[in-house]
A and B are shown apart, each in its own frame.
Chain A
């Protein structure tokens, strides 16, 4: 039996599941718009998750937890920044290194918090919204970060298309040599983008440990950082499509929790594969149109920048 309450429960779960993906992927979107691919999202999320949890568990202050998670992610991302921007290391390799460092560091320093539980974040009451028929039930169960993620997406879309800062970021990602020739600080813009990406991944991680589960387990991101990277490609570098993609993943992911609800006789492990398989599927669907990718991808994406002095 599928009833309204179940559907609302599923939608709430899907939107919450999508929230860390939206944060992390929006950060990566800015990094890529500035011309860099940071594959270390998984590591930055883990570091954000463990530091955010530690602070949230100790203080019970969510704002502080997210801030610390963001700072931790940004600090970790600076390793990538130095490797790529100053030492001209291959971007893929540097991102992988970040993933491994982040995984190791979070597991090492997270030992003390392993398996602990904290009280999750309550829903945000928005006067009026929760009084709506049917949907009111949905709105009354969403927490503030779900809304904040959507606000962030809108803000990023605005900054990218409507502001000079966005124009400069796009220019650096499109053609770093031309930007340099115009006197734009390519390295400076990219450091900023990378730090922003790290902070957003950190917030995504902190949401995971402080709100969604809410507990800290080693390696709890389980590939979400990678899915976030895939989402950016899937969204062809557009924030609105990114949000839609994340919700789709959220729905697919909670299938494993609600599979039984539909009376599906599929083993839980097979349902657990779904988000990963769907990621592969959408990557294939989006990548087969090579022209579309070329039209949308930032021109200097992944290329090393070496100003001729």
Chain B
């Protein structure tokens, strides 16, 4: 890293535009990050943040605009060129190789033999200096999400970049891990690097950053020092209008237990996941049971076990409306009243090249009369798809449009709508608003609350603590395949949930949280 006086512009992007088929992702974007400064890049999903990062990292060539580094024009034609120019990026989706060791992973990102010399020692050294300890010889698949992020950061820091870009780095971390990360970021800033922090979480930006640039619809709508703004103003800039109200919680006395898991134990199909150990949960009619936890702690297996994609060892391990269903598949469970919104929209919740009409059949045929004597009723299917499109305001040309042509938010509206309109008494929802625009988030939350108020039991799995806290009536935490006892929402502090998410016992978490408070 070349030394630069504090405040001088390290990364200067001016007038960058990028056109994709059907969407102008960046429209004359200008952006600066100076030495010794943390700049937030704020924007909704689809505002153009990712495209800008890819341009800065040489993965995407802009149609127009120029990029300067430390005042000199830079031609970022490839990631290698960007790295040579002093840019390092920590991506939201880690580009790690599961079956390789930490050392091998890091070595792959280094372009010259000189850069790879004494690598293990240098990894340890950087780990010590920045509080990012990782063991070079561990296999990545065995690491937690937080440890994987550390590997990514160490990999980037080894090249001593003057400009560091972090793309949504906190979305997968516990509150405690976020604090640790922020410490590292401040340390890096104080060394004179320029830090770009990409996020849509306003609180984090307010507490960490020095300045914030807001993107909306591919354009910069403003750039302000953090001292001259607040979360409400930022939210308005980001969305362009008043923030929609989150629907109010309604206190319901517990209804009947509609879905229960009793001592559910199952090994994982993923050899590196913990599986499930003696998981017990009860979801009552009229409540939303939130399940918090860091990814990789058994979420996949719990969802598969509840939905019936994987069968439990015994009939009674899972009960639906009081009846044992542990050995029944997804179809039979749906007939008995269950519905399920999976985390992966395209390719699981919907068949990408199939029309919305055909995608309506996918799960709804189990509960609604869309099939007669084994023959699909094209008319009933079309009517159902139209009903979902209308009720959930899915923006699409028609029901004949392929699922893959919809934006993430619109497809999620369709999937949630399809599940809700099949009138389930139990709905399992995984990561429902991940990567979805604000309007769709509001619509989806409203639908969940409406279904809850109609007396259904909802199990909501999410990595977003804010979402869980806003919607849930009770929250349980999944850690290493074990489920904590659910806490009433009144007792759910972020601190306490965060401790549970990092493996503390209920008692420790309660004690630790009250101590901190």
Give the secondary structure class of B's interface: loop
A266 interface contact, C-beta 8 A:
no
Binds A, one of B89-97, B359-367, B481-489: B89-97
Binds A, one of B102-110, B207-215, B227-235, B472-480: B102-110
B187 interface contact, C-beta 8 A:
no
A182 interface contact, C-beta 8 A:
yes
How many interface residues does B have (CB within 8 Å)?
23
Q: Give min CB distance, B433 to chain A, whole Å.
A: 22
Q: How many angstroms between the C-alpha atoms of A309 and B276 in the bound complex?
A: 39
Q: What residues of chain B lie closer than 8 Å to A170, measured between beta carbons?
A: 97, 99-100
A138 interface contact, C-beta 8 A:
no
B442 interface contact, C-beta 8 A:
no
Whether B80 contacts A178 by the Cβ 8 Å rule is no
- In the complex with contacts A167-B104, A294-B271, A181-B59 CB distance below 8 A: yes
How many interface residues does A have (CB within 8 Å)?
20
Whether B100 contacts A174 by the Cβ 8 Å rule is yes
Whether A171 contacts B271 by the Cβ 8 Å rule is no
CB within 8 A of A182: which of B95, B98, B99, B269?
Answer: B95
Q: What residues of chain B lie closer than 8 Å to A4, measured between beta carbons?
A: none
Whether A291 contacts B95 by the Cβ 8 Å rule is no
Q: What residues of chain B lie closer than 8 Å to A167, measured between beta carbons?
A: 100, 104, 107-108
Q: How many angstroms between the C-alpha atoms of A168 and B107 in the bound complex?
A: 10
Q: Mark B103-143, 1 if CB is under 8 A from A, else 0.
A: 01001110100000000000000000000000000000000
Q: How many angstroms between the C-alpha atoms of A184 and B97 in the bound complex?
A: 13
Whether B78 contacts A183 by the Cβ 8 Å rule is yes
Whether A182 contacts B107 by the Cβ 8 Å rule is no
Q: Give min CB distance, B121 to chain A, whole Å.
A: 19
Q: How many angstroms between the C-alpha atoms of A184 and B95 in the bound complex?
A: 12
In A157-187, the 8 Å CB interface with B consists of 164, 167-168, 170-171, 174-175, 177-179, 181-184
- In the complex with contacts A171-B97, A174-B98, A174-B99, A295-B271 CB distance below 8 A: yes
Q: Give min CB distance, B132 to chain A, whole Å.
A: 19
A120 interface contact, C-beta 8 A:
no
B79 interface contact, C-beta 8 A:
yes
Q: Give min CB distance, B64 to chain A, whole Å.
A: 17
B158 interface contact, C-beta 8 A:
no
A299 interface contact, C-beta 8 A:
yes
- In the complex with contacts A294-B271, A309-B60, A177-B95 CB distance below 8 A: yes
Q: Give min CB distance, A170 to chain B, whole Å.
A: 7
Q: For B61, give the chain A residue with the smallest CB separation.
A: A309
Whether B96 contacts A178 by the Cβ 8 Å rule is yes
Whether B98 contacts A171 by the Cβ 8 Å rule is no
Q: Mark B57-71, 1 if CB is under 8 A from A, else 0.
A: 011100000000000
Q: Mark A178-201, 1 if CB is under 8 A from B, else 0.
A: 110111100000000000000000
Q: What residues of chain B lie closer than 8 Å to A184, measured between beta carbons?
A: 108
Whether A181 contacts B99 by the Cβ 8 Å rule is no
Q: How many angstroms between the C-alpha atoms of A276 and B80 in the bound complex?
A: 49
Whether A182 contacts B60 by the Cβ 8 Å rule is no
Q: How many angstroms between the C-alpha atoms of A179 and B271 in the bound complex?
A: 22
CB within 8 A of A171: which of B60, B100, B111?
Answer: B100
- In the complex with contacts A177-B95, A291-B271, A182-B100 CB distance below 8 A: no
Whether A174 contacts B97 by the Cβ 8 Å rule is yes
Q: What residues of chain A lie closer than 8 Å to B111, measured between beta carbons?
A: 183
Q: For A291, give the chain B residue with the smallest CB separation.
A: B271
CB within 8 A of B95: which of A181, A295, A299, A309?
Answer: A181
Q: What residues of chain A lie closer than 8 Å to B270, measured between beta carbons?
A: 294
Whether A182 contacts B109 by the Cβ 8 Å rule is yes
Q: What residues of chain B lie closer than 8 Å to A179, measured between beta carbons?
A: 97, 108
Q: How many angstroms between the C-alpha atoms of A121 and B484 in the bound complex?
A: 71
Q: How many angstroms between the C-alpha atoms of A299 and B108 in the bound complex?
A: 17
Q: How many angstroms between the C-alpha atoms of A178 and B155 in the bound complex?
A: 14
Q: For B107, give the chain A residue with the smallest CB separation.
A: A167
Q: How many angstroms between the C-alpha atoms of A295 and B270 in the bound complex?
A: 9
Whether A299 contacts B78 by the Cβ 8 Å rule is no
Q: What residues of chain A lie closer than 8 Å to B271, measured between beta carbons?
A: 291, 294-295
Q: Which one of A174, A181, A290 has the greatest number of beta carbons of chain B within 10 Å?
A: A181
In A181-226, the 8 Å CB interface with B consists of 181-184
Q: Give min CB distance, A297 to chain B, whole Å.
A: 10
Q: How many angstroms between the C-alpha atoms of A184 and B58 in the bound complex?
A: 13
CB within 8 A of B108: which of A171, A290, A294, A295?
Answer: A171
Q: Which one of B83, B95, B111, B270 has the greatest number of beta carbons of chain A within 10 Å?
A: B95
Whether A183 contacts B98 by the Cβ 8 Å rule is no
Point out residues on A near B: beta carbons under 8 Å.
164, 167-168, 170-171, 174-175, 177-179, 181-184, 290-291, 294-295, 299, 309
Point out residues on B near A: beta carbons under 8 Å.
58-60, 78-80, 83, 91, 94-100, 104, 107-109, 111, 269-271
Q: Give 9 A-B contacts (CB < 8 Å), ordered by A residue.
A: A170-B97, A178-B94, A179-B108, A182-B109, A291-B271, A294-B269, A294-B271, A299-B98, A309-B60
- List 11 extra interface pairs beyond A182-B79, A291-B271, CB under 8 A: A167-B108, A171-B97, A171-B100, A174-B99, A175-B97, A181-B59, A182-B95, A183-B78, A183-B83, A291-B269, A309-B60
Q: Which 4 pairs show the lowest CB-CB distances between chains A and B?
A: A178-B95, A183-B79, A181-B95, A174-B97
